[in-house]
């Protein structure tokens, strides 16, 4: 879809646009001066849970995550909402309240927004943040020998799909909602104390899709240890029942050619690696000593983080599962 537009904006003509045209990343970065750059992103989607307030908070956390994945802090956000005439306005109020309280938790402010009438509710944010131009996290830059750290468990796709099918337990839903509502603020701020060679957040393309982007842009390969990957409670149980969202199949079709399974996995285990995530954690590529220290600081701060793999000198963008 975008290929016909490739020639409209040439990166060389916009030197202040530090991130945005040359390669895909989590947000655009525009340099203002030697010490400040603006970070801009947008994200919105239909409900993934039944509770209106929780949906608003999850959508806001998901949009804010792109700012944190760039090593930046959010300044303000603009609401984006679509809502059916047939639904009670109080539902939209709860959605917007959930988003607003999550933005306030992030230390930012809702500065306005726009709403349209649509057949299905949708909500999200356009977020503006700020970062030092010499402290930007990008997807590219991972180096052979780096360790891969993940800051949230996986499995939101299968759990929210089980919810839609009335097959999810309240315990499973509560765990997934708590994870999706949790900001990546602490994970990002603590990471800035260490050397981070590459970073992204795990969302709709699943673990392997976003890992492929990082590895491809860094001209390296990634290796994940399957048994080291963290899963939300009940995610593996639902995967064994083949409860997957449609996005799993699209991710599998797009990325399976870049994946080598070096460890025997059952089909459901392999499929979980392509499970689309909502408001997932950060995936960080860090030197080994920094990764070890980061894990300790995250634990001391009450934050979650797991060492899940390593960066290899291998085919660009390839992923090995061990």
Q: Which residues, including other chains, have CB under 8 Å from residue 208's CB and lie 6 or more apart?
A: 251, 255, 258, 259, 273, 274, 319
Q: What is the pLDDT of residue 153?
A: 98
Q: What is the pLDDT of residue 23?
A: 78
Q: What is the pLDDT of residue 7?
A: 80
Output the CATH code of domain 3-131: 3.30.1330.10
Q: What is the pLDDT of residue 284?
A: 98
Q: What is the pLDDT of residue 24?
A: 83
Selected from 3.40.1400.10, 3.90.650.10, 3.40.1350.10, 3.30.1370.60, the CATH number assigned to the domain covering 147-321 reads 3.90.650.10
Q: What is the pLDDT of residue 231?
A: 98
Question: 3-state class of 240 per DSSP?
Answer: helix
How many whole angstroms separate alpha carbon 226 and alpha carbon 197? Answer: 23
How confident is the chain (322 residues) per 10-residue block, as mean pLDDT? 80 92 89 98 97 98 98 98 96 98 98 97 98 97 98 98 97 98 98 98 98 98 98 98 97 97 96 98 98 98 98 97 98
**What strand order describes the sheet that includes 28-31?**
17-19, 28-31, 37-45, 122-131, 73-83, 109-117
The model's pTM is: 0.96
Enumerate the domain spans of the chain: 3-131, 147-321
């Amino acid at each position: 879809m975008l290929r016909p537009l490739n020639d409209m904006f040439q990166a060389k003509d916009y030197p202040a646009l530090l991130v945005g045209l040359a390669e895909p990343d989590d947000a655009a970065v525009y340099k203002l001066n030697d010490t400040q750059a603006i970070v801009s992103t947008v994200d919105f989607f239909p409900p993934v849970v039944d509770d209106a307030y929780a949906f608003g908070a999850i959508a806001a956390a998901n949009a804010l995550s792109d700012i944190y994945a760039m090593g930046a802090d959010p300044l303000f956000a603009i609401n984006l909402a679509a809502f059916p005439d047939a639904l009670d306005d109080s539902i939209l109020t709860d959605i917007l309240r959930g988003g607003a309280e999550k933005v306030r938790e992030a230390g930012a402010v809702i500065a306005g927004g726009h709403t349209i009438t649509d057949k299905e509710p949708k909500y999200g944010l356009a977020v503006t943040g700020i970062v030092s131009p010499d402290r930007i996290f990008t997807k590219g830059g991972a180096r052979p020998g780096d360790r891969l750290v993940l800051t949230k468990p996986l499995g939101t796709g299968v759990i929210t799909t089980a919810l839609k099918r009335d097959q999810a337990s309240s315990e499973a839903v509560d765990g997934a909602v708590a994870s999706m509502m949790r900001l990546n603020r602490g994970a990002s701020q603590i990471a800035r104390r260490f050397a981070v060679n590459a970073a992204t957040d795990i969302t709709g393309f699943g673990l392997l899709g976003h890992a492929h982007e990082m590895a491809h842009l860094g001209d390296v390969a990634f290796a994940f240890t399957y048994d080291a990957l963290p899963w939300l409670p009940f995610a593996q149980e639902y995967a064994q029942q083949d409860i997957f969202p449609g996005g799993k199949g699209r991710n599998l079709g797009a990325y399976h050619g870049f994946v080598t399974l070096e460890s025997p996995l059952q089909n459901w285990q392999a499929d979980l690696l392509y499970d689309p995530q909502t408001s997932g954690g950060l995936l960080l590529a860090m030197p080994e000593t920094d990764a070890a220290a980061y894990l300790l600081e995250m634990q001391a701060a009450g934050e979650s983080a797991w060492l899940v793999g390593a960066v290899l000198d291998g085919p660009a963008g390839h992923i090995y599962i061990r």
